[in-house]
């Protein structure tokens, strides 16, 4: 373990798997105490008994629970907002329910977590908020990702607004925009693509890989490395950015 985050406390949403998990582990490896939360606490079970983690159930759609977590954890220096969901739709097929769910989970949750943890960061004059957006956002379109891209574009707007309003306080807010990253939910999307196109799972995966100019998927650890930089004091002059980590997808 090295110590880029020694003495810091991080709060991570959707830490059960994928980018949230890889980031929680990277933060812990660098010395942070990590409050690892997820809707599904079974996914956190393997971290039980490790003193570097506090494990909690948290539904990122639950504003009251988020506010309460903010009160219970006044020492959070790093907020990592990973919770998000990918719908497959166009403007014509997106339902009201899909719109509400995506905007609530992908964006509104960040509004609530930021409101919950920012005040204490401001009191201390130090903090780093990191929001997971996507290349599919205001940066680039992706077919059949209407509400997803809309919500992830809003994440970039939210990030810049927070960064600007607190620019002189020592609290920074940045977004990360991953390309296509290997994760359990990506596996679900590959299966869904195979089912909807009549292709094999291997052929569907090849379609996801084909959109990555580097010719491969990213790893959650590669996104966590960017998160680690943004969480640490090494990035103290960086705020309001949307850091693209995408294997050239948006090039
Ligand atoms: N994987 C990719 O290719 C990719 C690309 C760009 C952006 N992202 C974004 O990265 C983030 C993580 O995605 P991933 O693919 O790494 O992980 P994932 O989708 O495989 O895992 C999502 C995690 O979120 C948890 N979760 C679901 N609903 C929740 C809720 N209401 N409250 C709290 N937790 C909840 C799940 O239990 C799970 O642990 C998402 O915001 C996603 O949009 C992913």
- pLDDT tens column, 35-46: 999 999 999 999
Q: How far is the CA of 239 from the centre of ligand 1 (A)?
A: 23
Instruction: Give me the helix-helix angle, 184-197 and 18-29, nearest 10°.
Output: 160
CA distance 27 to 233: 13
Indicate whether 186 belongs to any domain. no
CA distance 185 to 52: 26
- pLDDT confidence tier of residue 1, bands split at 50, 70 and 90: low
Identify whether the C-beta of residue 9 lies closer than 8 Å to the C-beta of residue 32. Answer: yes
Q: How far is the CA of 123 from the centre of ligand 1 (A)?
A: 30
Among the atoms of ligand 1, which is closest to the Cα of residue 105?
31
Number of domains in the chain: 1
Torsions phi, psi of 232, nearest 5? -85, 165
CA-wise closest residue to 71 among 119, 130, 10: 119
Q: Please provide the average confidence, as pLDDT, over all residues in the chain.
A: 97
Tell which one of 13, 59, 82 to mutate to probe ligand 1, the residue whose CB is within 8 A of the most ligand atoms: 82
Which H or E element spans position 208?
A: helix 201-210
CA distance 22 to 11: 13
Ligand 1 in contact with 36 (CB < 6 A)? Answer: no
CA distance 130 to 238: 11
* Mean pLDDT confidence for 191-211: 94
Q: What is the pTM of this model?
A: 0.98
H runs (alpha helix) in 35-126? 63-72, 96-102, 109-124
Indicate whether 96 belongs to any domain. yes
Indicate whether 196 belongs to any domain. no
CA distance 228 to 51: 20
Q: How far is the CA of 197 from the centre of ligand 1 (A)?
A: 24
Q: How far is the CA of 83 from the centre of ligand 1 (A)?
A: 5
CA dihedral sign of residues 199, 201, 203, 209? positive
Nearest CA residue ID for atom 25, ligand 1: 14
Indicate whether 234 belongs to any domain. yes
| β-pairing verdict for 53-57 and 78-81 | unpaired
Ligand 1 in contact with 20 (CB < 6 A)? Answer: yes
H runs (alpha helix) in 73-183? 96-102, 109-124, 146-165
CATH number of the domain encompassing residue 121: 3.40.50.720
Q: Tens of pLDDT along 135-171?
A: 999 999 999 999 999 999 999 999 999 999 999 999 9
User: Known catalytic residue: 229?
Assistant: no
Indicate whether 214 belongs to any domain. no
Helix (H, G, I), strand (E, B) or coil at 104: helix
Q: Which of 27, 80, 148, 249 is catalytic?
A: 148
Ligand 1 in contact with 74 (CB < 6 A)? Answer: no
Range of the domain at 101: 9-179+219-245
Ligand 1 in contact with 70 (CB < 6 A)? Answer: no
Indicate whether 139 belongs to any domain. yes
Ligand 1 in contact with 82 (CB < 6 A)? Answer: yes
Indicate whether 61 belongs to any domain. yes
Identify whether the C-beta of residue 60 lies closer than 8 Å to the C-beta of residue 39. Answer: yes
Q: Tens of pLDDT along 18-58?
A: 999 999 999 999 999 999 999 999 999 999 999 999 999 99
Q: Give the pLDDT confidence score for residue 101 in this predicted structure.
A: 98
Indicate whether 128 belongs to any domain. yes
């Amino acid at each position: 373990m090295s110590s880029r985050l020694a003495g810091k406390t991080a709060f991570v949403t959707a830490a059960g798997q994928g980018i949230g998990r890889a980031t929680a582990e990277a933060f812990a490896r660098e010395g942070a105490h990590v409050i690892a939360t997820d809707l599904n606490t079974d996914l956190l079970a393997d971290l039980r008994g490790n003193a570097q983690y506090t494990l909690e159930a948290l539904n990122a759609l639950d504003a009251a629970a988020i506010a309460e977590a903010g009160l219970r954890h006044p020492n959070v220096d790093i907020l990592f907002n990973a919770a998000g969901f990918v719908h497959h739709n166009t403007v014509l097929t997106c339902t009201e329910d899909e719109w509400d769910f995506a905007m609530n989970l992908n964006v509104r949750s960040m509004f609530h977590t930021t409101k919950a943890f920012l005040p204490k960061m401001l009191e201390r004059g130090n903090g780093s908020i990191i929001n997971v957006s996507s290349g599919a956002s205001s940066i680039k379109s992706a077919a059949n990702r209407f509400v997803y891209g809309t919500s992830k574009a809003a994440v970039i707007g939210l990030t810049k607004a927070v960064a600007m309003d607190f620019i002189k306080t020592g609290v920074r807010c940045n977004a990360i925009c991953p390309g296509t990253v290997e994760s359990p939910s990506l596996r679900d999307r590959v299966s869904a693509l195979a089912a909807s196109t009549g292709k094999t799972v291997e052929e569907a995966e090849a379609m996801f890989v084909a959109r990555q100019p580097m010719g491969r998927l990213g790893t959650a650890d590669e996104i966590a490395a960017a998160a680690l930089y943004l969480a640490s004091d090494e990035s103290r002059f960086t705020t309001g950015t949307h850091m693209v980590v995408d294997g050239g997808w948006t090039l």
